[in-house]
Amino acid sequence: MASYLQGPAVASTDSLVAAMSPSPEITASIAAEAAAPQAETVRLIDLRNGATCKVNASMDEDGPQRLPIGPACAKSPDLARVAYWETKDDGSLVMTDHKGETVLEFMPGDGVLFESVYPNNALITIVAARS
């Protein structure tokens, strides 16, 4: 019984978010809440060094989208590597480099739109931008 609570073994090719997500058997009986509309303009904040910038891009479109990172966010070593972002079916947000390699992975946050979960030493949040 205890091994079932730990969930199935996760292959190394699965994302961290997929590994942390509960199985459909557990969540199928829970009605999904309507998703909140995603902001078109968001602010990326690297809490380690204070780098912050606004980006204008839609999180609602399918597939990877170009993410224009400005010079203010280039001060963040993680954000400086980002070229694209994509919202996944599980609600996560993945940012990749020019080669398609995952740089950052985010989950919806409490009080913020998204907070970083990968890599574990990244402390980056995404909030709705105020004009």
Say which amino acid occupies 62: D
> Rounded CA gap, 113 and 64, in Å?
18
Q: Is 116 helix (H, G, I), strand (E, B) or coil?
A: strand
50 exposure class (CB count in 10 Å sphere: 0-12, 13-18, 19+): exposed
pLDDT class for 131, splitting at 50, 70, 90?
A: low
Strand partners, 49: none
Q: How confident is the model at residue 114 (pLDDT cuts 50, 70, 90)?
A: very high
> What pLDDT does 85 receive?
92
User: What band does 37 get if pLDDT is binned at 50, 70 and 90?
Assistant: very low
Which pLDDT value is given to residue 16? 59
Comparing 40 with 127, the larger pLDDT belongs to 127
Contact indicator for 46, 123 with CB cutoff of 8 Å? yes
- pTM for the complete prediction? 0.67
32/120 Cα distance (integer angstroms)? 28
pLDDT for position 130: 79
Q: What percent of the chain has pLDDT over 70?
A: 66
- Cα–Cα distance for residue pair 47/109, rounded to 1 Å: 15
Question: Rg of the chain's alpha carbons, rounded to an integer?
Answer: 16
